[in-house]
Amino acid sequence: MTSKASSIWGGRFQGGPSAVMEKINVSIGFDQRLYAQDIAASKAHCAMLARQGIITATDAQSIQGGLDAVLKEIESGRFEFKNDYEDIHMNVETRLTELIGPAAGRLHTARSRNDQVATDFKLWVRDAIDKLLVQIAAFRTVLLARAQDHAETVMPGFTHLQTAQPVTFGHHLMAYVEMLTRDAGRFADARKRLNECPLGSAALAGTSFPLDRQFTAKELSFDRPTANSLDAVSDRDFALEFLAAGAILAVHMSRLAEELVLWTTPQFGFVRLSDAFSTGSSIMPQKRNPDAAELSRAKAGRVIGDLTTLLIVMKGLPLAYSKDMQDDKEPVFEAADTLELVLAAMAGMVADMTVNKERMKAAAGAGFATATDLADWLVQHLNMPFRQAHHVTGRIVKLAEEKGCGLDALALADMQAVEAGITQDVFGVLTVERSVESRTSFGGTAPANVRKAVQAAKEAK
Ligand code: ARG
């Protein structure tokens, strides 16, 4: 069961780990994704050690050259990641030793894998945030363009998925722009808070070496070094914040995906996805399935699960580092990959979907969607209390239902039989176009508002 003792901590060990021990312990299979951050952090640490006179300039030079060589090997695919060396930190260090000899052993002065991994992981999450922010901005641009095109397109607005009041499709799309703007804000906030450098916290207590932590923080574009060594090596709230912001973003995407699924049914018929984003059925030739929307909806489950996973990993851990925390990476990697894919799919679908304005308008007029407009007219023109107007409108809706027609198709005399004060003027508010045009309150659905909101959103970015 045993093989040779580790070259890294072998001093105290006679035998190597059992196969099961190795299997549960090894993380190189996934944490190799931290290679660029690991090497960047090592280079900063090495430069600092030399500046502080903790290692010689000659050793530092050879370490820097060796790290550059390791980076090149990894990026060209020539590097062999080995389970024997457990994780990315020891894989890099072992290869460095092979390349430059004993000087490599000086790199780990005043450092532990605990502050090393916290630093690498923060750098990785920071990069992931920056990439997601670019993608969110791109999707926002797509939504803004489509909202502009459809500032006047009337569709039914729903509550309880029952026809409620007419809205404009542009206004509906702008609702998602608002959500994405807040999503971007959450990631940006998380980025601000995470941007403190753990390097130099060492295993948990700091170190007796005369480090310059300001220098390493600056080298790695952190705002400052972390203030407490125990906290720095043992919290993963930066990863949790990333996942929380990600889970909310995924939920927003899932809701829009659900709407695309509904809108593309023959029953709604509001939207047609391009061939590039539709799939056929192997048995039913008429089918155009919105698989990308369905999968985007499904994938919210993963991201929510990733957040839950890490919350549970962290919840019982005493300070400072525990190996449990090695399990922080896979949920974060999965969430980042999933969000990248979902944002691309959603932006792709929305960018080239075809909108059926006629179907939307017909549906907007069905279900007595302008009943509230009638009630508002009674309040504004007959000075009726709203509660009474609601009641009168209810009776008129019932009449229209009995006659099997829309409100705007009722005869004036029929309406007057319910409320004598109603005049011809009421028909001006009963069409869906007039209904949306009248919703000019700030944040309301009127086409003029949508155009202004698009403009404002473009200027804000
Ligand atoms: N691979 C480890 C992780 O990701 C690195 C830190 C190991 N530290 C330790 N004390 N065993 O958490």
Per-residue pLDDT tens digits for 431-458: 999 999 999 999 999 999 999 999 999 9
- To test the pocket of ligand 1, the residue of 13, 326, 329, 333 to mutate (highest count of ligand atoms within 8 Å of its CB) is 326
Mean pLDDT of all residues in 206-230: 98
Spatial contact of 184 and 166, defined as CB atoms under 8 Å apart? no
Catalytic residue among 160, 208, 282, 441: 160
Distances (CA, A) of 392 to 371, 415, 418, 421: 10, 10, 7, 11
Q: How far apart are CA 370 and CA 373, in angstroms?
A: 5
Q: How far apart are CA 293 and CA 240, in angstroms?
A: 26
pLDDT of 44 over the 80 cut: yes
**Catalytic annotation on 160?**
yes
Per-residue pLDDT tens digits for 79-134: 999 999 999 999 999 999 999 999 999 999 999 999 999 999 999 999 999 999 99
Per-residue pLDDT tens digits for 81-95: 999 999 999 999 999
Q: With 0-12 CB in 10 A as exposed, 13-18 as middle and 19+ as buried, what is 434?
A: middle
Q: How far apart are CA 56 and CA 51, in angstroms?
A: 9
- To test the pocket of ligand 1, the residue of 22, 32, 87 to mutate (highest count of ligand atoms within 8 Å of its CB) is 87
For residue 332 and ligand 1, the question of a CB distance below 6 A is answered with no
pLDDT of 1 over the 50 cut: no
Q: pLDDT band for position 279 (50/70/90)?
A: confident
Task: Specify the ligand 1 atom closest to the Cα of 86.
Answer: 1
For residue 116 and ligand 1, the question of a CB distance below 6 A is answered with no
Q: How far apart are CA 458 and CA 461, in angstroms?
A: 6
**Catalytic annotation on 171?**
no
Between 146 and 2, the more confident residue is 146
Q: What is the model's pLDDT at position 196?
A: 98
pLDDT of 184 over the 70 cut: yes
What is the whole-number distance in angstroms between the Cα of residue 73 and the centre of ligand 1?
23
pLDDT of 10 over the 80 cut: no
Question: Which residue's CA is the nearest one to ligand 1's atom 12?
Answer: 326
